[in-house]
Amino acid sequence: MDVPTSTTLESPAPGLGSRPPSTGAALPPAQPGAVQVDSGPPPAEPPLAEPPPAEPLVDRYHRSTGRTADRIFRLATGACALSVAALILVAVLYLVHGSVPAFRANGLGAILSPVWDPTNQKYGALSFLFGTAYTSLIGMAIALPLGVLTAVALVEILPKALSQAISLAVELLAAIPSVLLGLWGIFVLVPLVRTVEIAIYKSPLGLKKLPIFAGPPLGVGYLSAGVLLAIMALPFILSVTREVILQVPSAQREAAYALGATRWQAIRRFILPYSWKGIFGAGLLGLARVLGETMAVTMVIGNTPQIKASLFASGYTLASVIANEFTEAPSDLAISALISLGLILLLVSILLNGAARIMLLRLSRSHGTPQEVK
């Protein structure tokens, strides 16, 4: 990296070099061309009024060593670092504290009941757990294969310029706020999904009899939410998988081709197997991301607390119920129950993220190259 030309030091040292520091006998700066004779006393220098103070760490161009300023700076920035790191613990503590009333009233197991009826003090979250899991599953089932295949296309098949353009297009997708994707979801995706669902419903093959396609084709529901989640997870999976595939050493590729592999054989038999662990880590990270996704899902899932196997059915997720019902909770106990749902989301995300990051770290260490996941 080039040395930045604009680096300046805060307290410039005026005259540095114009007059040598008087820390004892010192030779004056040599005149160009002059012959240095090293014996004999130095030429006469104007004598100082008083001997220089005997403080070896002080020179006349800085007021102090900056020791105390150093200490303060270190403390201040260290406090920042500590507070950021402590945030996780603080979050857990506060949410546990907020959930305690709900747990005390209904016991821990009540969470697993399928009945959610806050007005009658029923706080079973099973339908939300199911909804979160089901939509995330659909989302990952779409995003993972799509992401991996796209990454293969970008790294191994397409020319560099096109591959960079496509990467950019997908990266920009990640910058779209969830609520805006939800907006698009309501007015574009849901009608589209509804058309597909109606086609399946009317299909002469009798597909509507299958449990996975059962129920009226409303458009809103698990499928729409799953598709939006896939769109949100895709940039993540794509970027990590790309990195992982790029990391496959060229020696491996050469060995495969030299043995007479076609391009697809090299990809499928040698490059992808090398990358599975990294792809798995990417999948975990993507999953952690979609589990807590709130706005887009809330706008297209139908918000019905039920458990159904059909893609067409409406559902509810942990994040959505918190979003919808928190401000209208009928009692403090209901609020506490919602906070406990948030606690579940918090703990699951910490676990998944932690596990995925550790896995990716171990992977990059074993391959000998440090790998950063943004």
Partner 1 sequence: MSGSHRLRKIQGRLMEGVCLLAALLAVIPLFAFMWHLAAKGASSLTLNLFTQLPLPPGEVGGGLKNAIVGSLVVVGLATVAGIPLGVGAAVYMSEFARPKVASSLRFACDVLSGIPSIVMGLLAYQVVVVRMHHFSALSGSVALAFIMLPVVVITTQEMLRLVPHSLREAGHALGIPAWRIASSISLRAAAPGVLTGMILAVSRVAGETAPLLFTSFGNPYLSADPRQPIATLPHTIFTYAISPYDDWHRLAYGGALVLVLGILGSTLLSRFILWWHRRSLNV
Partner 2 sequence: MLACADLTIEFNRKAVLKGVSLQFPPRKISAIIGPSGCGKSTLLRSFNRMHDLTKGARVIGSVTLDGREIYNTSEDPVLIRRRIGMVFQKANPFPTLSIYENTIAGLRLAGVTSTPVLKEAAEKALVDAALWDEVKDRLKSSPMTLSGGQQQRLCIARALAVDPEVLLMDEPCSALDPIATSKIEELMFRLRERLIVVIVTHNMQQAARASDRTAFLWMGELIEAGETEAIFTSPKKTMTEDYITGRFG
Residue from the set 80, 115, 141, 259 that interacts with partner 1 by CB under 8 A = 80
Find the shortest distance in angstroms from Cβ 272 to partner 2.
10
257 near partner 2, rule: CB under 8 A: yes
Residue 259 binding partner per list partner 2, partner 1, none, with a CB distance cut-off of 5 to 8 Å that depends on partner kind? partner 2
**Interface of this chain with partner 1, residues 102 to 141, rule: CB under 8 A:** none
From 114-122, 245-253, 305-313, 337-345, give the range in contact with partner 1 by CB under 8 A. Answer: 337-345
77 near partner 1, rule: CB under 8 A: yes
Sign of the torsion formed by the C-alpha atoms of 58, 61, 63 and 68: negative
100 near partner 1, rule: CB under 8 A: no
- Structure tokens of 355? 């596990």
**Cβ closest to partner 2, residue 66 vs residue 249:** 249
260 near partner 2, rule: CB under 8 A: yes
**Interface of this chain with partner 1, residues 187 to 226, rule: CB under 8 A:** 187-188
264 near partner 1, rule: CB under 8 A: yes
Find the shortest distance in angstroms from Cβ 247 to partner 2.
13
Find the shortest distance in angstroms from Cβ 185 to partner 1.
9
Residue from the set 240, 256, 291, 313 that interacts with partner 1 by CB under 8 A = 291
244 near partner 2, rule: CB under 8 A: no
Residue from the set 23, 262, 331, 369 that interacts with partner 2 by CB under 8 A = 262
Cα separations (Å) of 59 from 68, 73, 322?
A: 16, 22, 63
101 near partner 1, rule: CB under 8 A: no
Residue from the set 20, 52, 249, 354 that interacts with partner 1 by CB under 8 A = 354
Binding mask 146-165 for partner 1 (x = CB under 8 A): xx-xx-xxx-xxx-------
**Interface of this chain with partner 2, residues 267 to 296, rule: CB under 8 A:** 269-270, 273-274
Of 308, 165, 317, 145, whose CA–CA distance to 238 is shortest? 145
Residue 258 binding partner per list partner 2, partner 1, none, with a CB distance cut-off of 5 to 8 Å that depends on partner kind? partner 2
Residue 241 binding partner per list partner 1, partner 2, none, with a CB distance cut-off of 5 to 8 Å that depends on partner kind? none
Strands 122-123 and 116-117: antiparallel
The site for partner 2 (CB under 8 A) is made up of 249, 251-262, 265, 269-270, 273-274
